Amino acid sequence: MEFSNLHKARYGYQPKLPAIFKEAVPNVVLEMGDKTRAVSDHDELSALFKHSYGKPIVRFVKGRNEKSDRVLNVGVILSGGQAPGGHNVIAGLFDGLKKGNPASRLYGFLGGPSGLIGAKYVEIDAALVELYRNTGGFDMIGSGRTKIETPEQFAASLETAKRLDLHALVIIGGDDSNTNAALLTEYFIEKGSGVQVIGCPKTIDGDLKHEHIEASFGFDTAVKTYGELIGNIARDANSAKKYWHFIKLMGRAASHIALEAALQTHPNICFISEEVEARRLSLSDVVGEICDTVIKRAENGENFGVILIPEGLVEFIPEIKALISELNEIMAKFKTEFEEIRSFQGHCAWLERKLSRPSLVLFESFPEEIARQLLLDRDPHGNVQVSRIETEKLLMHLTEKRLAGMKVSGAYNGEFAAIGHFFGYEGRSAFPSNFDADYCYSLGFSAFFLIASGLTGYISSVSNLSAPATEWVPGGVPITMLMNMEQRKGKKKPVIRKALVDLDGEPFKAFAALRSELALKTCFKYPGSIQYFGPPEICDITTISLQLEHRGAFRKAVRT
């Protein structure tokens, strides 16, 4: 493994912890809150999770816990896509275990949940942890997207836990992964195994959020990484003054990344998928809004600009959502028939007999490369893989086509040249920001204290995140509190509800107040690269969204 100078320097960074975690382990106890309810579907969920539903929110306070320093064997899983800071969750968990009792052991399951099912693991010792402190990626033990669903998979998971004499299992992942944690909790309780299960909130999309979970880790680093790239492009656009840059950003279900990036960089246009759906904007409406801005800026002699597009935008535009839904259903129902057709032209002819008239007209209006992307292999849920649809190129093509027509009619006299970008993987494994390094380390420590306190079915939490780390408030939130019932593959299943952009929330309102001016004026901001060394107001700063959310919560508290 080759180490850069930054890599070497980051090894020496000591993450900051909430004040309570600086106490000796036996001096930290739980403070229990009131019993909780799920976000919806209370009766169904309480029946499904009869052993683990309705537990109280907890936080850690000073006290005396005589059992917290016992020897523990704990397993840890990295699940789903990479997010900066995952290694620090493991480091915090490891250091917490060793602080509690040096004889405690930590096992890492290789390749995600499949490592638990197949009993593929490595013991994580001090030497291994030291190689990965404060680094990005999930390469310490790898990750995977296997879902533990079948009776055989649950039984194999328990068998592995028994083989290692595990007291607890920590699952680091997003909404699907922590849903799995809730299901494993219930299964382990039913089998009388005594194996505790704790989750940790991970996703760069920022959609694993709740009143009591202020942020999912990795979001801070990812949006700052994208912010630097967008700022660089904006500066180039303002220098060359001849290109419109269409930038697609990660975020299938929620537009938190696009919103935060807009607050950081002040693009001319930023679409928020949740607003597009709420306003029921058609594809023509979206293109129309782009053209209006292009025309007005051209009248000021500015034939350039920056447009931010969430990855999942197409699924929020009503007619495209209907088309995708039809394609998913048809391709699942006639899977063999579809796969026997070898050419794109053959697929198009076949779809003429299957699609509704409005969906067929829309499908045929797309450039061939976009239409091909709509027919690519489905994900494990049977849905189109929207990250592979080049939405930025679709909007570039339709904008160019409409402006060409307006030029002929004399309604537009500017110049339009567009360049497309997609920023996704660039942010998933970056060196974690100081915030994510600290936050993840605290989440790992919190997971240890939840285990040491005998809890199961909780997700590790740390709140008051816009304050200095010493003032953070660690604790735990029952996973079932975050859940609802949703249709998956034709059946209602318990899942953690994704947190979408709140159109009444402070971050969106702050952006909405700016965008009329941003559309017409060139007022780009250039956030620059993530800073790791220097004054706290530069190095430890949180996202603008988190700052605004805390400000809004404070105002609400004052009013009530």
For the chain, the average pLDDT equals 95
At residue 555 the predicted structure's pLDDT band, cuts being 50, 70 and 90, is: low
Over 80: is that where the pLDDT of 4 sits?
Answer: yes
Mean pLDDT along residues 424-439: 97
The residues, ordered by sequence, that sit 6+ positions from 344 with a Cβ below 8 Å of its Cβ are: 368, 371, 372, 375
The reply to whether domains 5-218+432-496 and 221-427+505-530 share a CATH topology is yes
Q: Which residues are catalytic?
A: 205
The residue with greater pLDDT, 555 or 314, is 314
Domain ranges of the chain: 5-218+432-496, 221-427+505-530
User: Which class does domain 5-218+432-496 fall in?
Assistant: alpha beta
Global confidence as pTM: 0.95
221-427+505-530 belongs to CATH 3.40.50.460: yes
The closest alpha carbon to 157, from 116, 129, 191, 128, belongs to 116
Please classify residue 479 by burial: count the beta carbons closer than 10 Å to its beta carbon, then call 0-12 exposed, 13-18 middle and 19+ buried.
buried
> What pLDDT is recorded for position 489?
67
**pLDDT of the residue at 358:** 95
- Closest to 442 in 3D by CA, of 424, 460, 415, 468: 460
State both tokens at 550: 């805390």
Closest among 162, 91, 27, 110 to 448, alpha carbons compared:
91
Question: Is the pLDDT assigned to residue 558 strictly greater than 80?
Answer: no
pLDDT, greater one: 66 or 523: 523
Residue 364 has pLDDT above 50, yes or no: yes
